[in-house]
Amino acid sequence: MRFIPIIIFNIIATGLCLMFLQQHQFIDATKMHLTSAVLGLITVYFGRDERRLPSFEITLAMGVPVFGGLCASYYSLATSGQHKSGTFEDYQEHLAKDLEYNNTTKTFTPDPERLLSLFSILKSDQPLLEKRTAIEALAQLETPESVATLRKALSLESVEVRFFAASILSKIESKLTDSLKKRDLRATRTTASALDYFNLAQSYFDFSYYNIAEGEREKNYLKKAKMYINKINPKQADSKVYELAGRIDLGLHDYKSALACFTTLAKTSDNPQTALLWCAEANYYCGKFAETALCCQQAATFGTIPLRIKHNIDFWLENISA
């Protein structure tokens, strides 16, 4: 009976160790297991004069901690070359250091084959380090397609993959929210500049771009983005303003306004190929198929069109000819 407190402590310690192991805190788990093992030795030492050694208690106090400690030590050494972030908070801190949210959303679409390749790694029996690397590669792309792939990863069987994907998605949304709050403070001042309005419009648009806001929330965010982009004096507007304004209008399905923005963009942009491709998309949705084909032809004269964008062009032209 006098060993009951030690036994109870060891049961609690074993539960804590399981929690540490689940959170990948292998060093803490090792320390806890070793503490339990020492108390187990004490139990054996003071029980040696008893008529009957407490075999069940010894097994519970010694066997589980020692075996668990060995497992924890093994995993601690095995993962020493990987990221030190084990818990959700630690992994978030790792992401904050290694992944930076770009103030300007990327206009390209990643190669679908690359996305499929990364997703296939997440579904496979590859080592955990390979899966984590694939998750972070998706995060570095920072595109709607990569975010959508991360969301698909949330339904996979692997607990670790779901954990990593959820961490990345949470970090993306957190960064977008923080950026929006800071920019909102600057844009609502009486001394707000055209750049402040542009940045806030960009932040609202990014919630739609990354599919963080959906349904009515997305529509409201796009309307706010348009409200702030329209606050910019046309005399201060540059190609970035017209491009963002056109993309906001595309999101709101205001294709005529989008076409007007992209047409102006084509006259002012230092990258005429990109501007013409935006014009092609707006023309397509406006039902101006001849203009769509013409814009695609003109865009091709400025150099090879990236393969990932060419897929969209082929889709437009195929539907035009159908």
Mark which of 128, 146, 174 sits at the end of a domain.
174
Do 64 and 130 lie in one domain? The reply is no
186 domain-assigned: no
Q: What are the pLDDT digits (tens) for 157-187?
A: 888 888 888 888 888 888 899 999 999 999 9
Number of domains in the chain: 3
Mark which of 115, 140, 174 sits at the end of a domain.
174
Query: Do 21 and 71 meet the contact criterion of CB atoms below 8 Å apart?
Result: yes
The CB-side HSE value for 51 (13 A sphere, CA atoms) comes to 0
Do 314 and 265 lie in one domain? The reply is yes
CATH at 165: 1.25.10.10
Confidence of residue 1 (pLDDT cuts 50, 70, 90): low
- Mean pLDDT calculated for residue range 231-251: 94
Q: What are the pLDDT digits (tens) for 111-158?
A: 566 777 787 888 888 888 888 888 888 877 777 788 888 888 888 888
Contacts of 72 (CB under 8 A, 6+ apart): 17, 20, 21, 26, 27, 29, 30, 33
Q: How many residues does the chain have?
A: 322
182 domain-assigned: no
Do 53 and 92 lie in one domain? The reply is no
Q: How many CB atoms lie within 10 A of CB 127?
A: 11
The CB-side HSE value for 197 (13 A sphere, CA atoms) comes to 19
Query: Do 17 and 5 meet the contact criterion of CB atoms below 8 Å apart?
Result: no
Query: Do 99 and 139 meet the contact criterion of CB atoms below 8 Å apart?
Result: yes
Q: What are the pLDDT digits (tens) for 67-118?
A: 665 655 555 544 443 433 344 444 445 444 444 444 444 444 555 667 777 8
pLDDT of 99 reads: 43
Q: How many CB atoms lie within 10 A of CB 308?
A: 16
225 domain-assigned: no
Q: How far is CA 38 from the centre of its chain?
A: 43
227 domain-assigned: no
User: Letter for the amino acid at 39?
Assistant: L
User: d(Cα 234, Cα 228) in Å, to the nearest integer?
Assistant: 13
Mark which of 78, 113, 138 sits at the end of a domain.
78
124 domain-assigned: yes
Confidence of residue 281 (pLDDT cuts 50, 70, 90): very high
Long-range contacts of 60-63 (CB under 8 A, 24+ apart): 60/7, 60/10, 60/11, 61/6, 61/7, 61/10, 61/36, 62/37
Q: Which is more confidently placed, 235 or 136?
A: 235
144 domain-assigned: yes
User: Letter for the amino acid at 73?
Assistant: S
155 domain-assigned: yes
Q: What are the pLDDT digits (tens) for 189-223?
A: 989 999 999 999 999 999 998 888 889 999 999 99
pLDDT of 98 reads: 43
Confidence of residue 5 (pLDDT cuts 50, 70, 90): low
User: d(Cα 132, Cα 158) in Å, to the nearest integer?
Assistant: 12
Cβ-in-10-Å burial (0-12, 13-18, 19+) of 260 comes to middle
Q: How many CB atoms lie within 10 A of CB 102?
A: 9
Q: Which domain range does residue 13 map to?
A: 4-78
Do 37 and 110 lie in one domain? The reply is no
User: Which SS3 state, helix, strand or coil, does residue 65 take?
Assistant: helix
Do 40 and 15 lie in one domain? The reply is yes
Place of tokens 């590859």: 126
221 domain-assigned: no
Do 47 and 97 lie in one domain? The reply is no
The whole model's pTM is what?
Answer: 0.61
Do 133 and 65 lie in one domain? The reply is no
Do 103 and 148 lie in one domain? The reply is yes
